[in-house]
Amino acid sequence: MKKLLYILLGFVSLTLLVGLLLFSLDRSITDDYNAKVYTDIERIPHKKAALVLGTSKYAWGRENLFFNYRIDAAVALYKAGKVDAIVVSGDNGRKEYDEPTNMRDDLIARGVPEEHITLDYAGFRTLDSIVRAKAIFDLDDFIIVSQRFHVLRALYIADKKEIDAIAFEAKNIAGVFGLRVRLREVLARFKAFLDLHIFGTEPKFYGKKVEVIYRY
């Protein structure tokens, strides 16, 4: 009986320790990078390009508001003259699944010229999108576009990869679904920590350089 109790106490202690580590890392990333996230289109400084992080256009048979709000934010940046080009980075690992093309089509429908939109088909993860932005598209000083919980992790990755970036916050989703995504983000930040500091993870693909066409 005592042995079982010790095992149970050990399991509880380990669970609490892991939870504390996850919470501490999550809090640290938020505190360290919050100041680099802008919400006011008038205050954000001009950068040559925006990097829009991908997500699926549809989720559970309906429009994905995370996707829509990211498009809204990118369009706002371009039309306000805050960026001169947009790179859309997402997953196109299967022929029938194409986040970058969906983003491009919606940007064009909202008035962004096609020639100023560049597609990154190998943005399978946030890490891939950030590292490829510099390695493939020659972006080293740009605006990351996504929801706040997401851009904070992206800024953390950029910082550790010595990439200068700021972020523009896309509108978030409230309610149970938004809370669930935020809780999942805690694990995603821990995975980013492991990728950067333990595993030395690199993008799945690099490839040839791609030229970004700017407005001016």
- Domain spans of the chain, in order of start: 2-199
Instruction: Determine the pLDDT at residue 180.
Output: 85
| Token output for 4 | 């079982």
Instruction: Determine the pLDDT at residue 5.
Output: 66
Could you give the C-alpha distances from 6 to 12, 16, 212, in angstroms and in order? 10, 15, 60
What kind and span of H or E run contains 24? helix 2-33
Instruction: Determine the pLDDT at residue 14.
Output: 61
Low-confidence ranges of the chain (pLDDT < 70): 1-2, 4-18
Could you give the C-alpha distances from 73 to 15, 36, 39, 67, in angstroms and in order? 39, 16, 10, 10
- The topology under which CATH files domain 2-199 is Rossmann fold (3.40.50)
C-alpha 123/C-alpha 203 separation (Å) is: 8
Instruction: Determine the pLDDT at residue 174.
Output: 82
Question: Could you give the angle at the alpha carbon of 107 between the alpha carbons of 135 and 109, nearest 5°?
Answer: 155
DSSP-derived 3-state class of residue 162:
coil
What kind and span of H or E run contains 164? strand 164-170
Instruction: Determine the pLDDT at residue 156.
Output: 98
